[in-house]
Amino acid sequence: MGIAAETQFHVLAVDDSLIDRKLIEKLLKTSSFQVTAVDSGSKALEFLGLQEEEQRNHHPQEMEVNLIITDYSMPGMTGYDLLRKIKESSSLKDIPVVIMSSENIPSRINRCLEEGAEDFFLKPVQLSDVNKLRPHLLGSRTLLEI
Amino acid sequence: MERTQQHRQVAHMRQSLFDQGLLDEQFVQLEELQDDANPNFVEEVVTLFYRDSARLVLNIDQALDKSPLDFSKLDSYMHQFKGSASSIGAKKVKSECTLFREYCKAGNGEGCMKTFQQLKKDYAVLRKKLETYFQMARQVGPVETACRRK
């Protein structure tokens, strides 16, 4: 694979369950994504805030987050709360967000989609779901499908 | 060859876990994610499940000891348990979790307790069988699963 300047997409995964974090991380890595996994919405925002600073001070292309995938049911800040905070932030609102949930509740799904979520995955998430992520990715317009 | 016989035993053991309704398709998904970079992926995830389950069983046992029962709390614990079970493909345990949650919603303490006793039994059986299976598999070396692609 000697393609020059090949960028890997960076996904931020958020889930309070250790098992599910391990799973989503493996699914994403198998799909050739770079992954950062955190266990809460507040840690996610912290990471994204840190990202902003990196971009201002150093190289803008390094460590950019291209997509956020988050569990819905988390203690403290839910996935929905996180989604809202991201969409309310001028610097983060363009990052696509995907919600995961073990419960198939149409009103919940609609609420998330209305708030700006790109997609909603039912758990357990499969490789076929993760393969659907590429079209949602920020900045993937000019890239060829491998 | 003794080796082939052992391979067949491992494959048979694996198949029986599905046939007995203990595991579902999600377990196969885990197997398909296992590769050279993560050769023990399935066992690692299942070990996390044991740890998670131990914690939740303790919490639920304690919560069931209280009077009156906090059904909301019980449901919350069981939601987590169900999630973990679902993620590793523990079919039977998962359905017990669903049943427990239905009793929670109905405020049926008796139902919750009976279901939980059964769940603990089923969980113990599953754990024992999986531990045996992984031990056998390790002794024999990599086994081709029926659904492996590539």
Q: For the range B25-29, what are the long-range contacts, defined as Cβ-Cβ under 8 Å and sequence gap of 24 or more?
A: B25/B89, B26/A124, B26/B86, B26/B87, B26/B88, B26/B89, B27/B88, B27/B89, B27/B90, B28/B89, B28/B145, B28/B147, B29/A124, B29/A126, B29/A127, B29/B89
What's the gap in Å between the CA of B78 and the closest CA on chain A? 12
Sites in chain A below the pLDDT cut of 50: 1-5, 61, 140-146
Answer whether residue B113 shows pLDDT above 60.
yes
Written as six digits, the tokens of B20 are: 């007995």
Contact status, residue A121 vs residue A79, Cβ threshold 8 Å: no
Answer whether residue B112 shows pLDDT above 80.
yes
Strand (E) or helix (H) holding A72: none
Tell if the CB–CB gap between B29 and A124 is shorter than 8 Å.
yes
Written as six digits, the tokens of B5 are: 């016989």
Answer whether residue B149 shows pLDDT above 60.
no
Contact status, residue A120 vs residue A113, Cβ threshold 8 Å: yes
Note the pLDDT of residue B59: 97
Answer whether residue B45 shows pLDDT above 60.
yes
Confidence at B87, pLDDT banded by 50, 70, 90: very high
Answer whether residue B144 shows pLDDT above 60.
no
Answer whether residue B82 shows pLDDT above 60.
yes
Sort out which chain A residues have CB atoms less than 8 A from B102's CB and list them.
Answer: none
How high is the mean pLDDT of chain B? 93
| pLDDT more than 70, % of chain A | 81
Note the pLDDT of residue A55: 66
Tell if the CB–CB gap between A17 and B80 is shorter than 8 Å.
yes
Whole-model pTM?
0.87
Kindly list the residues of chain A whose beta carbon comes within 8 Å of any beta carbon in chain B: 17-20, 22-23, 26-27, 30, 73, 102, 123-124, 126-127
- Say whether A36 sits in a helix, a strand or coil: strand
Sort out which chain A residues have CB atoms less than 8 A from B36's CB and list them.
Answer: none
Q: Compare all CA atoms of chain B with the CA of A22 and give the residue at the minimum distance.
A: B45
**What's the Cα-to-Cα distance from B15 to each of B2, B46, B143, rounded to whole Å?**
20, 17, 12
Sort out which chain A residues have CB atoms less than 8 A from B88's CB and list them.
Answer: 19
Q: What is the DSSP letter of A126?
A: -
A22 → closest Cβ in B48, B79, B83: B48
Note the pLDDT of residue B3: 76
Q: Phi/psi of residue B39, each to 5°?
A: -70, -15
What's the gap in Å between the CA of A29 and the closest CA on chain B? 10
Q: Phi/psi of residue B97, each to 5°?
A: -60, -45
What's the gap in Å between the CA of A23 and the closest CA on chain B? 8
- Say whether A133 sits in a helix, a strand or coil: coil
Contact status, residue A21 vs residue A15, Cβ threshold 8 Å: yes
Q: How far apart are CA A93 and CA A29, in angstroms?
A: 25
What's the gap in Å between the CA of A94 and the closest CA on chain B? 30
Note the pLDDT of residue B140: 86
Q: Compare all CA atoms of chain B with the CA of A31 and give the residue at the minimum distance.
A: B33
Q: Compare all CA atoms of chain B with the CA of A16 and give the residue at the minimum distance.
A: B80
Q: How far apart are CA B119 and CA B99, in angstroms?
A: 10
Note the pLDDT of residue A3: 46
Q: For the range B71-80, what are the long-range contacts, defined as Cβ-Cβ under 8 Å and sequence gap of 24 or more?
A: B71/B104, B71/B105, B71/B107, B71/B112, B72/B104, B74/B100, B74/B104, B74/B112, B75/B101, B75/B104, B75/B105, B78/B104, B79/A73, B79/A102, B80/A17, B80/B52, B80/B56
Nearest to B82 by CA among B123, B137, B42: B123
Where does B37-108 have alpha helices with state H? 41-65, 71-88, 91-105
Tell if the CB–CB gap between A124 and B52 is shorter than 8 Å.
no
- Say whether A34 sits in a helix, a strand or coil: strand
